[in-house]
Amino acid sequence: MTRHNDLLTDMGAPLLWQHHGESITYTPDGGEAVTLTALVRRDTEASQGAEHGQRLARRDEIIIPTTAAASYDGQYVADPQVNDTVTIDGMEYVVRDVLSRNALATLICEARAAMERTMPGYRRGGR
């Protein structure tokens, strides 16, 4: 590694976790829950087919540490898997994909709660 990379790792990464990290609970399928600090990219949506048209599914990207060295608070998930669950602020997500598995893993998570979108003007009486 270069000196720049060493400095960024030693100084920049802790600041990133400290200022942008959120507390989440990660629960492996059939395993024991662990609370850790993660980076959450919120408010991404994906339309899915449903019996009566389209429904929205909230999909968020969540970056978690997979080693103690990459962790802000000492907690990490060594081997994140599809179908594990993540809870953020009381909302439960299911891990649908794991994009990388280096020191940090990017999880594509979908909220379990169905989301609905009303037609334009519905709440204003159709005007």
Q: Read off the tokens for 99.
A: 């994009």
Quick: pLDDT tens for 52-97: 555 566 788 999 999 888 888 889 999 999 999 999 999 899 999 9
Q: Read off the tokens for 22.
A: 């959120």
Domain 3-115 CATH class label: mainly beta
Domain assignments of the chain as residue spans, ordered by start: 3-115
pLDDT at residue 6, as a whole number: 66
How many C-beta atoms lie closer than 10 Å to residue 62's C-beta?
Answer: 22
Tracing tokens 């080693």 back to the chain, one arrives at 67
Q: Read off the tokens for 66.
A: 């997979």
Is the per-residue pLDDT at 45 higher than 90? no
The beta-strand segments (E) located in the chain are 22-27, 34-50, 53-65, 85-88, 91-98, 104-111
